[in-house]
């Protein structure tokens, strides 16, 4: 290495022969020193050799910024081989933040006017790689000229460079519109591909350009039709599909041009149907074209039969052996579940079969789609399938599956007994993976099902006797046994198998729960309270209960110790009050709760549980709002108000209602929640709020749940949401309507709780309070 004129191959061999990192660094440092010396002396013969070695050193990860000016010198050289190395060095060593852009701009401008197409191609490639906004503005005219009048290879590079310019400076779109009009008439498929890409970029950034190119839809449709009917071409066909890259590019442009335009959508319907029916799916190439066709059909105003065809194509994708294709199909079907519910129901069995796929991504998306496909008509069969999946699925899948099943059971339950049985099954199979509020919600449901109490308490007693490891189920069972334990000894249950239960067995079971190492502190607290309640419901050995309670008076757990001491005092000093203190819990109505009312999707009101757990209720945690006297209740659907009179009131002076500006209430994690307002003129005290959840970034948000509350002087009711998943920017937003009654026209305040699972897969819960409603929404 003593010779300073070391060639690039010799340098590469020396670097590869270095045995340690230290030897390599020493070698590179010596060579960089020689290159710096050669640059200072200005040796013209070694310029290209030194720069190529410097680029290799840069690729190894060592600093090579001192060669930037050498790149600019070679750019100005009249010799092509030096100019080529100069442009390569500029692309690697320079970026938009360098101060040498003025010199680079002048060199590129001179080369764009060079008579040689090769030099023009080098300049266009460099400009498209690192052109800044200022360079794009200065050189847009030269690029436009080359895109229209240069030889075909240069025109292709000019169109690609124009794409970079439009992305960098969107206002330059108007310059390239006339050129694109001419280029659409070309027959070169490579040039057409670049032209369609340029038109797509311009239409996405300029509504005026979008309206202009909607006139070109017949030309793009004709191009797509010619590709579909053309025979095999050695130059462009791949796996029997004629130029799939150009087909995909044309379909993406049609998708943009057809959105919001029925005329443009109608012009492309026949060709889309032809592509969808004639493209084979034996290879990934055909599947890619079909997938883009499906996206275009579902995005534009296509015919109903064509949309059903798109759903059937995605259904065929679910049968593919390629997991990537199945995953894409599940994600696409999830975006279509709102608008094509009936067509998707035909593929329900195929979607459920995907739950057995070992790939975690596939069965996660299959779970989201299965939950979205649940309706009142199929809730029984779908629940049985999902319960089977819940029993065998990986631990990471149990929380979303359990949450989805609980929500679906609450929303579509045919009767209370089925609802309670389903929730008990979920608690048995999911264990600690159920949501935090599942226990309190189930207890509240049980309290309101008075006619089922004998059946419920016997079933829970049997489940608790078999297994005390599932803590949520144990907590519900101990609460019910303590509250309705007297029904275990009575023969009042006709729906369950007759089982002879003795008082000693019940007490022994609760004592077993108290002494088990599997029981959590809240579970032991519930079991201790259940024993105390049984002291007033059973007529057996009260001394045994007193002895069990007294043992925990010296427990290390402070909460359990405090309960035991208080219960012992109740036995010793206030035994005459024990029956009244431990009487059964009354049925709690949502309107009677302290604080504001919580309304869940579907209009069902939720009340906080009366369990002994030391966790704040949903109302106290979420809705600590101050308010005046309660408002008049909302008029139910079955009220005595004459239907004809209500309809006439709604139809009268509809256009006179002043518009209320929309409100963006929350944005985060790529998710945005917007409120749109409407006040029916016939009922000035009623405000209709349409909540729309949409994503601003790619990805799908699953498990979306919205809860709302208002002060006591107002009332709010939530309708059922349109779904549980929020698709990406290309999908339709999730919507849900809130009905707020404000008879006193008080300033509107609302507290929201949002629960969702972002694409990252970690559940998120947000609580926010809104005090900046438009005045027109409540005055």
pLDDT for the residue numbered 354? 92
The pLDDT, as a whole number, for residue 317 is: 92
Q: Of 706, 709, 772, 775, nearest to 740 (Cα)? A: 709
Count of positions (residues) in the chain: 779
Please name every residue paired with 678 in a beta bridge, in sequence order, or none if there are none: 688
DSSP labels for 393-409?
A: S-GGGHHHHHHHHHHHH
* φ/ψ (deg, to 5) at 752: -120, 150
3-state secondary structure of 720: coil
pLDDT digits (tens, 9 = 90+) for 134-155: 889 999 999 999 998 888 899 9
Confidence band (pLDDT; 50, 70, 90) for 497? low
Residue 609 has pLDDT above 50, yes or no: no
| Mean of pLDDT values over 392-406 | 91
Residue 691 Cα distances to 44, 77, 94, 221, 401, angstroms: 70, 63, 48, 38, 25
Q: Is the pLDDT of residue 615 over 60?
A: no
Torsion of Cα atoms, 252 then 254 then 260 then 265, to 10°: -140
What number of CA atoms fall less than 13 Å from residue 514's CA on the CB side?
24
> How far apart (Å, rounded) are the C-alpha atoms in residues 373 and 344?
8
Q: Kindly state the average pLDDT of the residues 403-429.
A: 91
pLDDT tens for 332-365 read 999 888 888 889 899 999 999 999 888 999 989 9
Statement: residue 570 has pLDDT above 90: no
Q: What is the DSSP letter of 280?
A: -
The answer to whether the CB of 667 falls within 8 A of the CB of 690 is no
Residue 1 has pLDDT above 70, yes or no: no
Integer Cα distance of 686 and 680 in angstroms: 7
Q: pLDDT tens across 291-340, in order? A: 999 999 999 988 889 999 999 999 999 998 889 999 999 999 998 888 88
For residue 709, what are the contacts with CB-CB under 8 A and spacing of at least 6? 595, 596, 597, 598, 599, 619, 622, 623, 625, 716, 750, 751
Q: What angle do CA 91, 94, 95 make, to 5 degrees?
A: 100
Asked if 53 and 31 touch (Cβ cutoff 8 Å), the reply is yes
Please state which of the ranges 50-54, 279-283, 527-531, 674-678 shows the lowest mean pLDDT. Answer: 279-283
Kindly tell me the sign of the dihedral angle through the C-alpha atoms of 25, 31, 34, 35.
negative
N-term to C-term CA, the chain = 87
Sign of the Cα pseudo-torsion (691, 696, 698, 703, in order): negative
* Confidence at residue 656, expressed as pLDDT on a 0 to 100 scale: 45
Compare 281 and 311 and report the one with higher pLDDT: 311
| Predicted pLDDT of residue 42 | 74
The count of other CB atoms within 10 Å of the CB of residue 626 is 10
Task: Note the pLDDT tens digit of each residue in 465-486.
Answer: 888 888 999 999 999 999 888 8
Identify the DSSP state of 575: G
User: According to the model, what pLDDT value does residue 419 have?
Assistant: 93
- Mean of per-residue pLDDT scores for the chain: 83
The Cα–Cα gap between 481 and 544 comes to 17
Longest dimension (CA), the chain: 111
What pLDDT, on a 0 to 100 scale, did the predictor assign at position 4? 53
Which run of H or of E encompasses 218?
helix 217-229
Q: What is the pLDDT of residue 657?
A: 52
d(CA 210, CA 258): 10
pLDDT exceeds cutoff 70 at 638: no
SS3 232: coil
Per-residue pLDDT, 692: 92
CB neighbour list of residue 432: distance below 8 Å, 6 or more residues apart: 470, 471, 472
SS (H, E, C) 103-139: HHHHHHHHHHCCCCHHHHHHHHHHHHHHCCHHHHHHH
Report how far residue 180's alpha carbon sits from residue 220's, in angstroms, rounded to the nearest whole number: 12
Mind giving me the DSSP string for 485-543?
Answer: THHHHSS--SSS------HHHHHHHHHHHHH-TT--HHHHHHHHHHHHHHHHH--S-HH
Give the number of other Cβ atoms within 10 Å of residue 569's Cβ: 11
Least confident segment among 173-182, 231-240, 301-310 = 231-240
Q: Is 418 exposed, middle or buried (0-12, 13-18, 19+ CB in 10 A)?
A: middle
C-alpha 343/C-alpha 209 separation (Å) is: 36
| Beta strands, E only, 157-246 | 237-238, 241-242
Instruction: Give just the sign of the alpha carbon dihedral 344, 349, 354, 355.
Output: positive
Report how far residue 408's alpha carbon sits from residue 390's, in angstroms, rounded to the nearest whole number: 14
Question: What's the sign of the alpha-carbon dihedral 453, 459, 463, 465?
Answer: positive
User: In sequence order, what are the beta bridge partners of 769?
Assistant: 751
- Evaluate if residue 203 carries a pLDDT over 60: yes
126 contacts 162 by C-beta, under 8 angstroms: no
Q: Which residue has the higher pLDDT, 597 or 707?
A: 707
At residue 92, does pLDDT exceed 50? yes
pLDDT at residue 474, as a whole number: 93
Instruction: Give CA–CA dist 308/340, Å, rounded.
Output: 8
Phi and psi of 646, rounded to 5°? -65, -40
Q: Out of 110-124, 246-260, 406-420, 713-727, which region has the weakest mean confidence (pLDDT)?
A: 713-727
What does each C-alpha distance from 143 to 133, 148, 178 come to in angstroms?
A: 14, 9, 13
477 membership: H or E segment, kind and range? helix 471-484
Provide the pLDDT for residue 124. Answer: 93
Mean pLDDT score, 104-126: 91
| Number of neighbours of residue 565 by Cβ within 10 angstroms | 16
- pLDDT digits 0-9 by tens, 64-78: 888 888 888 888 888
How much of the chain, in percent, has pLDDT values that exceed 70?
Answer: 87
720-778, pLDDT tens digit by residue? 888 888 888 877 888 899 999 888 888 888 989 888 888 767 778 888 888 888 888 88
DSSP strand pairing (750-757 vs 702-709):
antiparallel
Q: Are 257 and 217 in contact (CB under 8 A)?
A: yes
Contacting residues for 327 by C-beta, under 8 A, at least 6 apart: 359, 361, 362, 365
Confidence band, pLDDT 50/70/90 cuts, at residue 201: very high
Contact 680, 562 (CB under 8 A): no
34 phi/psi in degrees, rounded to 5: -65, -40
Residue 325 to residues 293, 308, 504: CA-CA distances in angstroms? 14, 19, 60
pLDDT surpassing 60 at residue 655: no
Closest alpha carbon to 537 in 610, 580, 482, 577: 482
């Amino acid at each position: 290495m003593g010779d300073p004129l070391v060639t690039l191959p010799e340098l590469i061999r020396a670097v590869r022969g270095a045995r340690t990192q230290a030897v390599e660094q020493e070698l590179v440092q010596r060579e960089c020193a020689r290159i710096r010396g050669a640059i200072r002396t200005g040796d013209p013969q070694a310029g290209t050799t030194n720069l190529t070695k410097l680029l290799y050193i840069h690729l190894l990860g060592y600093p090579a910024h001192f060669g930037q000016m050498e790149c600019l010198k070679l750019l100005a050289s009249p010799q092509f081989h030096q100019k080529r190395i100069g442009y390569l060095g500029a692309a690697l060593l320079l970026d938009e933040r360098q101060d040498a852009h003025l010199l680079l701009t002048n060199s590129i401008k001179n080369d764009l006017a060079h008579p040689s197409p090769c030099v023009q191609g080098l300049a266009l490639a460099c400009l498209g790689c690192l052109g800044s906004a200022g360079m794009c503005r200065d050189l847009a005219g030269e690029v436009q000229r080359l895109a229209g009048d240069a030889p075909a290879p240069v025109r292709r590079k000019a169109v690609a460079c124009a794409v970079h310019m439009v992305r960098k400076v969107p206002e330059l779109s108007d310059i390239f519109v006339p050129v694109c009009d001419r280029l659409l008439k070309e027959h070169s498929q490579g040039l057409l591909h670049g032209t369609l890409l340029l038109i797509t970029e311009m239409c996405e950034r300029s509504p005026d350009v979008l309206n202009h190119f909607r006139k070109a839809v017949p030309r793009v449709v004709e191009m797509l039709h010619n590709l579909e009917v053309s025979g095999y071409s050695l130059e462009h066909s791949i796996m029997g599909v004629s130029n799939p890259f150009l087909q995909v590019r044309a379909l993406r442009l049609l998708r943009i041009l057809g959105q919001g335009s029925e005329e443009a959508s109608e012009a492309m319907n026949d060709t889309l149907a032809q592509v969808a029916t004639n493209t084979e799916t034996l290879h990934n190439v055909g599947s890619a074209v079909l997938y883009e066709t499906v996206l275009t059909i579902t995005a534009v105003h296509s015919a109903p039969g064509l949309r059903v065809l798109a759903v059937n194509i995605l259904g065929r994708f679910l049968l593919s052996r390629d997991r990537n294709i199945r995953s894409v199909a599940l994600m696409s079907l999830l975006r279509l579940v709102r608008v094509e519910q009936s067509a998707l129901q035909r593929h329900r069995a195929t979607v459920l079969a995907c739950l057995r796929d070992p790939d975690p991504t596939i069965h996660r998306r299959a779970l989201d789609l299965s939950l979205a496909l649940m309706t009142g008509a199929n809730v029984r069969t779908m629940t049985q399938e999902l319960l089977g999946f819940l029993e065998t699925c990986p631990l990471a899948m149990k929380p979303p599956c359990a949450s989805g099943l609980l929500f679906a059971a609450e929303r579509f339950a045919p009767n209370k007994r089925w609802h309670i049985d389903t929730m008990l099954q979920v608690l048995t199979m999911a264990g600690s993976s159920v949501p935090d509020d599942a226990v309190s919600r189930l207890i509240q449901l049980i309290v309101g099902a008075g006619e089922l109490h004998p059946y419920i308490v016997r079933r829970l007693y049997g489940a608790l006797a078999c297994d005390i490891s599932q803590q949520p189920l144990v907590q519900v069972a101990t609460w019910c046994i303590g509250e309705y334990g007297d029904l275990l000894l009575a023969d009042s249950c006709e729906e369950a198998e007759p089982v002879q239960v003795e008082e000693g067995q019940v007490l022994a079971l609760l004592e077993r729960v108290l002494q088990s190492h599997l029981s959590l502190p809240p579970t032991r607290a519930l079991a201790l309270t259940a024993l105390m309640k049984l002291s007033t419901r059973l007529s057996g050995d009260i001394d045994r209960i007193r002895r069990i309670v007294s043992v925990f008076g010296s427990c290390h757990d402070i909460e359990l110790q405090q309960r035991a001491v208080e219960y012992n005092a109740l036995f010793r000093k206030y035994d005459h009050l024990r029956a009244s203190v431990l009487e059964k819990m009354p049925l709690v109505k949502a309107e009677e709760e302290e604080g504001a009312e919580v309304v869940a999707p579907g209009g069902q009101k939720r009340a906080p549980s009366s369990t002994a757990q030391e966790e704040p209720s949903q109302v106290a945690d979420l809705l600590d709002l101050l308010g005046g006297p309660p408002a008049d209740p909302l008029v139910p659907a079955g009220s005595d108000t004459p239907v004809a009179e209500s309809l006439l009131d709604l139809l009268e002076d509809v256009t006179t209602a002043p518009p209320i500006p929309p409100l963006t209430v929350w944005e985060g994690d790529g998710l945005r929640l917007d409120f749109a307002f409407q006040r029916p003129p016939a009922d000035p005290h009623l405000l209709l709020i349409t909540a729309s959840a949409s994503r601003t970034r790619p990805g799908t948000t699953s498990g979306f749940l919205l809860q709302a509350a208002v002060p006591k002087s107002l009332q709010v009711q939530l309708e059922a949401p349109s779904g549980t998943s929020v698709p990406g920017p290309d999908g339709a937003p999730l919507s849900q309507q809130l009905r707020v009654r404000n008879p006193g026209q008080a300033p509107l305040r609302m507290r929201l709780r949002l629960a969702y699972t972002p694409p990252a897969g970690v559940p998120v819960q947000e609580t926010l309070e809104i005090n900046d409603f438009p005045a027109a929404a409540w005055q």
